[in-house]
Chain A
Amino acid sequence: MASTAGVAPEVGAPPPEESGRRRGRTGYLLLIPGVVWLALFFVIPFYSLVATSLYDPNGSVFRGYEMTWEFSNYWHALQDYWEPLLRSLWYAALATLICLVLGYVLAYAIAFKAGRWKNLMLVLVIAPFFTSFLVRTLSWKLILADDGLVVNTLQALHLMGADGRLLATPFAVIAGLVYNFLPFMVLPLFASIDKIDHRLIEASSDLYANPFVGFWKVTWPLSLPGVVSGTLLTFIPAAGDYINAQLLGSPNQRMVGNVIQNLFTQANDYPAAGALSMILMILIVVMVLVYVRKAGTEELL
């Protein structure tokens, strides 16, 4: 799935004939560490995952697993776990949408309005990464706690019933997802928006476009590469995430990541876990391909 992140460098203008061959070879030599890394930590595990997903589901740690090309594992996994699967996609889509709205405004402000505070604001966007993902999610638990400030305030304002709560609701899970993946949205958006030539926006207003039309005709299309990569970088990890649902949700908000983790570690049902992982992976790859094609952003892939 990392293929979108690791965009290979473009081969520059056609090199001068003479040095062409040598440079080509250096390129391949430089590829070796990366290829070895991918082979060890992606291809082999992937192969083993595919194999696991096709094992005989009657196997166990005691008896071992036989390879019986059990394609029905996939069907059974879908039948048993379509609910958390759909829920994950739904939560991830919602979180991505919210991230896009929040992130766009933020990135726009940083790029165009921040002036000399630009660098400081960028640092502030990245700053949360200095603490661990887990610790930050746990602190959301404190913020949204049943006796915490937020809930008490909402209750005092009668926006929430006396026994209402935020933790262990879809709201908390989605809020957690939005919070954790927002920087992945802001940074690519910022990179795109920051590159936009201001004169184009000025030109649109010279041609009597009001700011609203000017935004949709000029700024938005020019920022689309950032939108596409931002939404991908947010949606993909959000759909597979299980920490937020685990810490901020209840069993009724479980996402597919939780199910896979439980199947592997608690239930020891490796074939089902493998099949479910593969289904998630295939679904996401297909969705990403369709999306990228629709958005028509060739240079991203």
Chain B
Amino acid sequence: MKKSVFLGTVAAATMIAGMGMAQEGSTLSQVKERGELNCGVNTGLVGFAAPDANGNWAGFDVALCRAVAAAVLGDASKVKFVPTTGQTRFTAVSSGEVDVLARNSTWTYSRDTDLKLDFVGVNYYDGQGFMVNKELGVTSAKELDGATICIQTGTTTELNLADYFRANQMDYTPVNIDSNAEGEQQYMAGACDAYTTDASGLAATRAAFANPENHIILPEIISKEPLGPAVRHGDNNWGDIVRWTLNALIAAEEYGVTSRNIEELVRSSENPEVQRLLGTTDDLGAMMGLDAEWAKRAILANGNYGEIFAANIGEQTPIGLARGLNAQWTQGGLLYASPFR
């Protein structure tokens, strides 16, 4: 009751700013009622999530949001991207400002438990690395004793770095930076000897340099960084939807379902697993409140995991990341979608 009175109070303001709010019930029903998915993304990390000159978002994380929107709402364009900083991202999830956070966030114990988030899976297996200028003559992170290291604040990398240097009894001076763009600037100008962040980010940064061959990424990976989408703790059905959308994209690659051959497979596939996934036999979608074709739409939005990877961060793009750990388990990677059954 109190609530409706307040909503009245802000109604004027609401109208003025032309936005809707007032949500109750499950996240799924909220999203459906709203007609769009609120997705928390990075404020700008090329390859993962960045707006172009017209404000169209693109990237690896963005593609996941679009797939979820396609599965839930039937339209991959019905996504509102909420740029979040390292500071605001988790609050945005727990307060309900975003329905899903796809902002290359590391799945850690305390975030999953204490911060009341639910990480629903891993869409990129990463690890923290170092990039240095070739001229320094450093070939191993163990030689970085006494170095000045650029590091983004508010990330797990900050803690990993401290742990790593302490464990190896080395000294370092951190240069705290606010954004990846600033880190690049500092590193390029030589304000720090090494730049540390997730290895994928390092590769992306290095790829964009005028002369990438002058910079090397050191072989040591000092941490495990499973990056994945997170949802609010407590709404398990919504968590399932995001988790299985991700699984559907991964499974689709495993079974060879791509955005190009999907229509054909719907008609002709004899593989029962593919049939279940695409909703031609069992109605798996109904179990989580969606229709039968949810996974088909999710895959159609941007293609399967492999296609998304190739289009945004793969070796053909300027980012040029190899699949590595992010290959299917059949290819020696870690991607292993649970069975659709």
Binding between chains A and B: no
